């Protein structure tokens, strides 16, 4: 029923210490793991918990080898990045039980005559696919999704139920679009004439690379004239808003509720904490980490972590601090006055 440790090491590498024929049937956290489980130690601070774990086997790094070899009775797989190793093993166990939807188009889907759907793709009930759309091999399109004209869905990409993917937009291979995501809606573009807004047609696309994940109810607007561009390996969590003509570099990740305003360019390998808000028409270089709940009004030209939120406090304390912040100018002026007076006193002494 389980998988031999030897087979895991053969698939995913690592040094095995212990019985290669030992079988494990799944992964569990240190505290919950039992005799049929593999567990993992990715943070040495949890070493005591690892030593006490009843897991059959542990994935850990060389840094924990000495302690675990001495104190943990089960088998061990030693690897440089135990968390990544855990992810791969978890994917493997998941794949053993996952119910993959069967290839084919559900009779309750509406697929335009001129759309191309690879025979290995799954199209669920109540899906609409418009003219000219191309659905690649191994793609899964969940119930209720909409795919607009000439849209392109790359191989092995999965759309969970109720995704809206508008005309002409493109996603590469192995992407994941979670439920409620809306790709390629019109950007928010209006000209103001005497206080009245005149709509600017949004004729660009959204073009996404390979291995892109888009979270539930996240929205990515199509470009105004040029395209909105999402790089390879970009991971967006739920309820994120990406405005028109934004460009996001490869392997950048954003936590939930982030907003990025129009035409902003974000580098590679950046990370954005939840509800970070990024102004439009700015640039953020590679390897920038913006803390949660931080507003970024201007370009960031140097890698590093950036933060900006008001510190939380019991409400009364905050009220006093807020008043003082609003009156900082007065405080500064008083300070200058004092400086003058002290200077005068010192000189006339």
Q: Write out the binding residues for its own copies, residues 195-214 only, by CB under 8 A.
A: 195-201, 203, 211, 213
Sites for its own copies among residues 126-185 (CB under 8 A): 126, 128, 142-144, 146, 148-149, 160-162, 164, 166, 176, 178-180, 182, 185
Shorter beta-carbon distance to its own copies: residue 170 or 254: 254
Write down the least CB distance from residue 15 to its own copies, Å.
Answer: 17
Cα separation of 56 and 76, whole Å? 9
Sites for its own copies among residues 33-72 (CB under 8 A): none
Span interacting with its own copies, options 1-9, 44-52, 59-67, 255-263, rule CB under 8 A: 255-263
Q: Residue from 15, 43, 108, 299 that binds its own copies (CB under 8 A)? A: 108
E-strand ranges in 194-264 read: 196-199, 206-208, 213-214, 219-221, 228-230, 235-236, 241-242, 247-248, 253-254, 259-260
Q: Residue from 2, 4, 7, 106 that binds its own copies (CB under 8 A)? A: 106
The total of other beta-carbon atoms located within 10 Å of residue 148's CB is 19
Cα separation of 245 and 304, whole Å? 25
Angle, alpha carbons 58-63-67 (nearest 5°): 65
Describe the strand order of the beta sheet including 241-242 as a list of residue ranges: 110-111, 128-129, 146-147, 164-165, 182-185, 219-221, 241-242, 259-260, 277-278, 295-296
Residue 243 interacts with its own copies (CB under 8 A)? yes
Q: Residue from 253, 265, 282, 285 that binds its own copies (CB under 8 A)? A: 253
Interhelix angle 315-326/328-348, nearest 10 degrees: 60
Write down the least CB distance from residue 70 to its own copies, Å.
Answer: 27
Residue 320 interacts with its own copies (CB under 8 A)? yes
Q: Look up 244 and say whether it is catalytic.
A: yes
Interaction pattern, residues 298-317, with its own copies; x per rule: CB under 8 A: ------xxxxxxxxxxxx-x
Residue 247 interacts with its own copies (CB under 8 A)? no
**283 alpha-carbon distance from chain centroid:** 20
Residues with active-site annotation: 244
């Amino acid at each position: 029923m389980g998988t031999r440790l030897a087979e895991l090491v053969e698939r995913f590498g690592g040094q095995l210490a212990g019985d290669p024929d030992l079988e494990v049937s799944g992964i569990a956290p240190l505290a919950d793991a039992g005799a049929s489980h593999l567990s993992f130690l990715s943070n040495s601070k949890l070493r005591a918990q690892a030593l006490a774990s009843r897991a059959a086997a542990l994935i850990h790094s060389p840094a924990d080898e000495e302690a675990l070899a001495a104190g943990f009775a089960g088998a061990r797989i030693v690897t440089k990045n135990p968390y990544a190793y855990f992810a791969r093993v978890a994917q493997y166990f998941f794949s053993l039980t996952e119910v993959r939807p069967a290839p084919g188009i559900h009779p309750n889907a509406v697929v335009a005559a001129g759309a191309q759907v690879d025979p290995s793709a799954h199209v669920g009930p109540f899906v609409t696919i418009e003219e000219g759309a191309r659905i690649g091999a191994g793609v899964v399109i969940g119930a209720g999704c909409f795919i607009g004209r000439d849209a392109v869905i790359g191989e092995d990409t999965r759309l969970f139920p109720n995704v809206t993917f508008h005309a002409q937009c493109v996603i590469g291979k192995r992407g994941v679009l979670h439920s409620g995501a809306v790709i390629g809606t019109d950007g928010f573009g209006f000209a103001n004439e005497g206080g009245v807004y005149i709509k600017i047609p949004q004729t660009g696309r959204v073009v996404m690379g390979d291995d892109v994940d888009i979270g539930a109810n996240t929205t990515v607007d199509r470009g105004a004239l040029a395209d909105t561009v999402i790089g390879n390996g970009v991971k967006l969590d739920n309820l994120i808003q990406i405005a028109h003509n934004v460009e996001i570099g490869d392997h950048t990740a954003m936590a939930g509720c982030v907003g990025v305003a129009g035409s902003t360019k974000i580098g590679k390998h950046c990370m954005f904490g939840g509800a970070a808000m990024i102004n439009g028409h700015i640039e953020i270089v590679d390897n920038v980490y913006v803390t949660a709940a931080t507003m970024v009004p201007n370009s960031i030209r140097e890698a590093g972590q950036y933060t900006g939120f008001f510190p939380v406090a019991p409400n009364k304390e905050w009220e006093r601090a807020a008043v003082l912040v609003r009156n900082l100018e007065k405080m500064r002026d008083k300070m200058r006055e004092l400086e003058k007076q002290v200077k005068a006193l010192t000189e006339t002494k």
